[in-house]
Amino acid sequence: MDFDERYRVIHSRDRRFDGQFITAVRSTGIYCRPSCPARTPKPSNVTFYETSAAAHEAGYRACKRCLPEAVPGTPAWNLRDDLAGRAMRLIADGCVEREGVVGLASRLGYSSRHLTRVLTEELGAGPLALARAHRAQTARTLLTSTALPMADVAFAAGFTSIRQFNDTIGEVFQLTPTELRARQSRGAAAPGALELALPYREPFDAAGVFAWLAARVIPGVETATADSYSRTLALPGGPAWFGVRDGGGRLSLTAHVSALGDLGALVARVRRLFDLDADPVAVDEALQAAARDAGAGGVAAAVSARPGIRLPGAVDPHEMLFRALIGQQISVAGARTLLGRLAAAAGSEVPTGLLGADSGDGDSRLLLFPTAAQLAERAGEVLTGPRARIATVVDVAERLASGELDLGPGDDAADQHRRLTALRGIGDWTAGYVAMRVLGAPDVLLTGDVALRAGARALGAPDAPRPLADWAAPFAPWRSYLSLHLWRAAATPTTAPVLSKETS
């Protein structure tokens, strides 16, 4: 958007744009979210920034009235596959806290100097400032949502000292941590649990995401109902467990972590899992417009019937790759059975007493999904089915375990596709599905997918791969979301074989 478009947004106080840009006001020295209820400033006093970190670097402080950090994230980081977008996804995952700017730059394939220069030019702040802003956002959430002691909040948010925590909160919010906590009441949490509220933009098809996840739960690792989801997860500091429920306007997250410093990464991964930073109005409007232009009345009706559809992400990139590999050419139920066998045979057991977690099905045995090393050792003897597919799973597990292959949210989409399809047994369907789930790639259409083609046929679209690809071209750059509507049209999530004819 240009200046005039953004100014019209802040004049209308449109909440849909909260988190998409920052409004800084020279006459007051503060920065706000677009929907701030304060009087609209004169255009001559306004500067727009891409991030709150950029506004802070320019000398502005956060508005105490609208708290601009308490908003959904920027949808651009899922849409952009350039260096800035990839860096922001890794910063949100805590890469700077764990590995420093040098480690972040190395993961992205650039020097730290070049990375700093690009981020400063495009976003107005370097990686350290962006990570600092993310720590401040996490700390604000913990201060206003939990009763954690101040020291625990500081280290959970990624600060290395109490002094650094106090200084940053004071600079960003012009409030002490105690004053910021006093501004909002907190609900009671279970002993040892962290209760957080994760905002999102409406409309939000919560039922659709929960149904998708419920159809694919791995026994012992995950549980899901029509309105809840929980699972175990291995994080850098140790095993964790989280549960999510929809609270209307916000997701309610309950988390148990082994190390408080993992909380920021956990929140970022849950947000990706539920696609909470998407702009659903923009997606739906684009799909509707493309459907009208293409004469696709079935798609238009599907979008109207299910507004705010979301693209489920992944909390563990390696796990998602194995899900895709094992799910080739079989039903969702069949893949779930095989994944459950793998988890039971090779996964590590999580002490429920340590995390306070409950498997939810009467079985006290909670499991972590097997690591690549564990799968490399056990997959060959546990998996059944085509030998070529089993060989691919073992080969990929060995490569991941040795570090020869890696996968993460900061990957370049084209490079990730090239690296995966270079391996025997991995074709376009698997690589495309992984891009959708791990990178949140918004413009993937898996024309070889059996269920997707059935859904296209049900909505009056071509069902042969090449004609389907041509027909779907006007829906770019949102063909991943179109795919979700086509899958849903094919059958219910529990029976739809969201799989491919790709040969291994």
Closest to 451 in 3D by CA, of 420, 494, 421? 494
Question: Catalytic annotation on 152?
Answer: no
Closest to 100 in 3D by CA, of 82, 127, 125? 127
Distance CA 450, CA 465 (A): 10
Distance CA 3, CA 11 (A): 12
Q: Which residues contact 212 (CB under 8 A, 6 or more apart)?
A: 312, 493
Q: Are the beta carbons of 195 and 146 closer than 8 angstroms?
A: yes
Distance CA 202, CA 72 (A): 10
Sign of CA dihedral 93, 98, 100, 103: negative
Q: Which residue has the tokens 């991964």?
A: 269
Question: Catalytic annotation on 63?
Answer: no
Strands 46-49 and 61-62: unpaired
Sign of CA dihedral 176, 179, 183, 188: positive
Catalytic residue among 32, 36, 66, 95: 32
| Beta strands in 275-367, from DSSP E residues, in sequence order | 349-350, 366-367
DSSP H or E stretch at residue 119: helix 112-123
Catalytic residue among 18, 81, 449, 463: 449
Q: Are the beta carbons of 136 and 69 closer than 8 angstroms?
A: yes
Quick one: angle between helices 297-305 and 280-294, nearest 10? Answer: 160
Q: Which residues contact 260 (CB under 8 A, 6 or more apart)?
A: 152, 155, 156
Q: Are the beta carbons of 235 and 259 closer than 8 angstroms?
A: yes
Closest to 156 in 3D by CA, of 57, 56, 255, 272? 255
Closest to 32 in 3D by CA, of 12, 16, 8, 55? 55
DSSP structure string for 461-504: ---SHHHHHHHHGGGTT-HHHHHHHHHHHHS-TTT----B----
**29 secondary structure, DSSP code:** T
User: By three-state DSSP, how is residue 67 classified?
Assistant: coil
- The structure tokens listed for 150 are 């101040």
Q: Are the beta carbons of 34 and 18 closer than 8 angstroms?
A: yes
Q: Which residues contact 102 (CB under 8 A, 6 or more apart)?
A: 112
Annotated catalytic sites, by residue?
32, 449
